[in-house]
Structure 1
């Protein structure tokens, strides 16, 4: 027979309440007792009944993760982390994609999903902060990404301005003086473009308009096309390129190679997001690495807090003001001069 909670309690010599506290991660249990309970769990092969646990907590046992595209490497990698973090607290995850379509994104925040959910983790592209603030659906919401800030919901993200400035400063530090940016518009609210401009201004370097190349998407082909357009023109080529995503950066590297130039000797390249492919590319890609585990844990924790304290405005406000997620610059061959 499948072992029960009572069996674990009897094996460990503790109460069922203590076993429940250990399994649910409550901190007010001594280290010795925790070890004894976990040993009993392993010895008996006990697995919690998640359906019963969710029913007792008034949960559906399901949250939704909605991203622009699942085939974007960054979101594919992040989705795996969120699945792990949600599973640890007894939630299943429904994953949807919007392709950045404004109408689909509006349907998401309006609560038009196929199943009842306990919470929504959402990375919008087309929506404004005002549209999200005006939502009437009561489902707890956590926002990801750089596109929407100050929308009245917990926003889990790195400081994109600081990260982009660090990436650009790295190019400056290795001697680059004509630096292009691929994958950013000149909108004032584009944080990665803001960080690029900040670093260039601090170094007293000009931001040449023809070296700032917006893209329609973050696909690699866009990076290749935009950098090829620069290299095919009559203007002097850049000696460094900051790309708004790694996928764009890999495309840019392809364009550089196809024009008979070398990375990093002729043009150094920095990406953003630390997708797995960048580590094994040739050359391997220097990049900004967000702490995806931290993003996932904080997103799930924010949903838990909103679900457990639905009428507590203090708890909601505390969750809405999230600290920046950690990030670091990973230096690899694409800038190793």
Structure 2
């Protein structure tokens, strides 16, 4: 068994309470005394019993992260940042995949299979403000993404509409006037897709270019195969588009493959831009122009908001609901211009 607080106290010649104060860091301890305790902690290789501490505080030390698709690169990369941020707070993170199915998302919202967790970070696709209002589970909750805007909970997202406008404006600045979009969805709950479409339309309107629905065919899902299939149909139009804005990088990589397979050059014959800045796009040939959400900031903000709720539940204070808009930037790479202007 590892060393106990009593063992450390005996070696340092202080009380158990003093050792506890040094370990917790919540109470002032005179520097000479603190130094003696810290030397004893190091000599005995003391490790705090986090499970016992959490139980005393009425917590488990575990949070959950619920996402639609774990094999989607964006969510995989985001998961790593959430785990890192949670670990810094002393939490273990469990992962749930919902597949974007309404019944699974409602199940997650009402409690993760009756597992006892301290908080939930949730990226929903189907649940909305009504489901949140009807929620009976009192576990601390932070939402990611745009499914619920101005809903009754903490929320972290980027400005998807602004980001989509910026990438479309970039394509327009290169002289393209016939710009297609891959990612439009007809599902009313697909808020992220609707916001990105709105940003695309805004840029066209501001440049005096018409919105042609034929250049923005509906997309069932956001996988490589969808991008490849829709790009083939767009290239068959007369005239074909000069540039394509894809609503995520997987769609863009699929479109990229179809374009090259038809003997066309990127960006000389057609420019392609994506969204999400996944690692695959940095190593494609040519490299992929994309919008890069600050995934680390999204993760840190979500964990911080969860931390405030979890600790707030032990007192009488009421934490105000918060909306955090994380940063993003446009990364111009070889798929839109052979001369990169930003990274």
Q: Shared fold by TM > 0.5?
A: yes
Indicate whether 1:54 and 2:54 are aligned. Answer: yes
**Measured at CA, do residues 90 and 212 of structure 1 come closer, stay the same or move farther in structure 2, by a change above 3 Å?**
same
Please give the alpha-carbon distance, in whole angstroms, between the structure 1 residues aligned to 2:10 and 2:164: 52
- 1:75 Cα deviation from its structure 2 partner: 0.5
- 1:47 Cα deviation from its structure 2 partner: 4.1
Please give the alpha-carbon distance, in whole angstroms, between the structure 2 residues aligned to 1:19 and 1:291: 34
Q: Which moved more, 1:173-182 or 1:219-228?
A: 173-182
Please give the alpha-carbon distance, in whole angstroms, between the structure 2 residues aligned to 1:169 and 1:266: 19
1:134 corresponding residue in structure 2: 134
- 1:1-337 equivalence runs, <5 A: 2=2, 7=8, 16-21=20-25, 46-185=46-185, 189=191, 190-233=194-237, 235-310=238-313, 315-317=318-320, 320-337=321-338
Please give the alpha-carbon distance, in whole angstroms, between the structure 1 residues aligned to 2:5 and 2:248: 47
Please give the alpha-carbon distance, in whole angstroms, between the structure 2 residues aligned to 1:290 and 1:227: 24
Give yes or no for contact 2:242–2:271 (8 Å, CA) kept in 1.
Answer: yes
- 1:218 Cα deviation from its structure 2 partner: 0.9
Q: Tell me the matched-pair count.
A: 329
Q: Which moved more, 1:292-301 or 1:48-57?
A: 48-57
- 1:255 Cα deviation from its structure 2 partner: 1.3
Segments of structure 1 that go 5 or more residues without pairing to the other structure are: none
Please give the alpha-carbon distance, in whole angstroms, between the structure 1 residues aligned to 2:10 and 2:299: 32
Q: Which moved more, 1:184-193 or 1:160-169?
A: 184-193
Give the secondary-structure state (helix, strand or coil) at the position aligned to 1:193: helix
Give the secondary-structure state (helix, strand or coil) at the position aligned to 1:323: strand
- 1:56 Cα deviation from its structure 2 partner: 3.1
**Measured at CA, do residues 198 and 96 of structure 1 come closer, stay the same or move farther in structure 2, by a change above 3 Å?**
same
- 1:207 Cα deviation from its structure 2 partner: 1.4
Give the secondary-structure state (helix, strand or coil) at the position aligned to 2:227: helix
Segments of structure 2 that go 5 or more residues without pairing to the other structure are: 339-343
**CA root-mean-square deviation:** 3.1
- 1:138 Cα deviation from its structure 2 partner: 1.0
2:341 corresponding residue in structure 1: none
Give the secondary-structure state (helix, strand or coil) at the position aligned to 1:105: helix
Please give the alpha-carbon distance, in whole angstroms, between the structure 2 residues aligned to 1:73 and 1:315: 36
CA deviation string 1:118-145 (max 9, x = no partner): 1111111112222222212111111012
**Measured at CA, do residues 203 and 39 of structure 1 come closer, stay the same or move farther in structure 2, by a change above 3 Å?**
farther
Q: Which has the larger radius of gyration?
A: 2
Please give the alpha-carbon distance, in whole angstroms, between the structure 2 residues aligned to 1:94 and 1:169: 40
